[in-house]
Amino acid sequence: MATATNIAGKIVVGTDGSDRATKAIDYAADRAVARGLELVIVNVIPEMPLPGRTSAASRIHDGVAYVEAYTKAAQERLNARVAEVMQRFPGVVVSGQLVHGHASHVLAQASKQAAMVVVGARGQSAPVSVKVLGGTSDAVTAHARGPITVISDFAEITPDGPVVVGVDDSAQAKVALHLGFEVANARRVPLIVINSWDIGPYDAFNADIWAAAMESITAECQQMVDEMLAPEKAQFPDVQVETRIKRGRPGVALVEASKGMGLMVVGSRGRGGFKGLLLGSTSKQVLREALCPVVVTHSTELVPDGPEHI
């Protein structure tokens, strides 16, 4: 399986050649300019691309010529993307890499070395009316070794907007919170911390009891968040922090809060995730519906290199 090369310390953005990928490329280019990093646009194509069904009969007899033509067309599209970025983002150092392999594998592996990996939430074949996370972005965010930035169809790029972080009491939430503080500090923007809770379907029969206990539950959640915030506030005293305790499904609360935000940070799975679960339901909902770019953290260990690239 091929991999992208010479990407260490650079921003890598994946493209499938579609217009949808333009938003992810623009975000990556903006970050490259802001942080003074090189940008690499990676287009991954299959090892042996098969012709479309309508043309299979006329082309399948000449597989070598077809592969050469397919590869040449992909390279030309990639070159055009690189030229567009150079024109629209003067000063950015950008290059393109055409890689044969599986897109999710190549981009997930790139996260080991790259300063940041950016992908669109869905590829060119996904209907706008269907809010489903694309197969490539799903696999990349699930298997990546470092933070992955995902740009949904609905995301607005506002780098000067606040950073918002979704937290619970999981180890991954602590990593996400730390990264949120680092990014907010680097960008000099406020940080909004959201914790959301809701009763389960079986608890609806005891709705009156839950209603009576709502204030105490909210207070307990606030105490938990305050305890998580204490060491981060001490490390980043200049970051303006706002906490919001929400009643409702976490995914819904985070999507609603994403409007006007510069960035959202979430863990790949929260306390409800079980061993072996790579990407939780809340993370999936946020990735496909968020109105701002989303960074997904994976490790339960703090990343020492800092977020200057995000």
pLDDT tens-digit map of 64-108: 677 788 889 999 999 999 999 999 999 899 999 999 998 888 998
Element holding 148 (H helix, E strand): strand 148-151
C-alpha to C-alpha distance for 261 and 294, rounded to whole angstroms: 10
Average pLDDT on 166-193 reads 92
Looking up residue 104, the CATH number of its domain turns out to be 3.40.50.620
CATH code, domain carrying 231: 3.40.50.12370
DSSP state of 83: H
277 or 80, which is more confident: 80
Q: How far apart are CA 166 and CA 280, in angstroms?
A: 13
The reply to whether 54 falls in a domain is yes
For residue 151, the SS3 value is strand
Distances (CA, A) of 90 to 7, 86, 218, 308, 309: 21, 6, 49, 21, 18
124 inside domain:
yes
Taking residues 149-161, report their average pLDDT: 89
Q: Are 16 and 147 within one domain? A: yes
pLDDT value, residue 224: 93
Average pLDDT rounded to a whole number, residues 142-156: 83
Spatial distance between the Cα atoms of 47 and 1, rounded to a whole number of angstroms: 9
Q: Is residue 193 part of a domain?
A: yes
3 state SS of 44: strand
CA distance 40 to 153: 22
Q: Which two tokens stand for residue 36?
A: 């003074």
Asked if 143 and 172 sit in the same domain, the reply is no
Does one domain contain both 188 and 244? yes
What's the pLDDT at 294? 93
Total domain count, the chain: 2
pLDDT at 307 over 90: no
Of 89 and 208, the structure prediction assigns the larger pLDDT to: 89
Q: What is the pLDDT of residues 9-44, one digit of tens each?
A: 999 999 987 777 898 999 999 999 988 999 999 999
Q: What is the mean pLDDT of the chain?
A: 81
On whether residue 304 sits in a domain, the answer given is no
Q: Among residues of the chain, what percentage have pLDDT more than 90?
A: 44
Predicted TM-score (pTM) of this structure: 0.79
Report the distance separating Cα 223 and Cα 228, nearest Å. 9
Q: What is the pLDDT of residue 197?
A: 77
Q: Which domain holds residue 132?
A: 11-151
Q: Are residues 20 and 147 located together in one domain of the fold?
A: yes
Higher pLDDT, residue 249 or 261:
261
Q: Do residue 236 and residue 280 come from a single domain?
A: yes
Residues 6+ apart with CB under 8 A from 185: 236, 238, 239
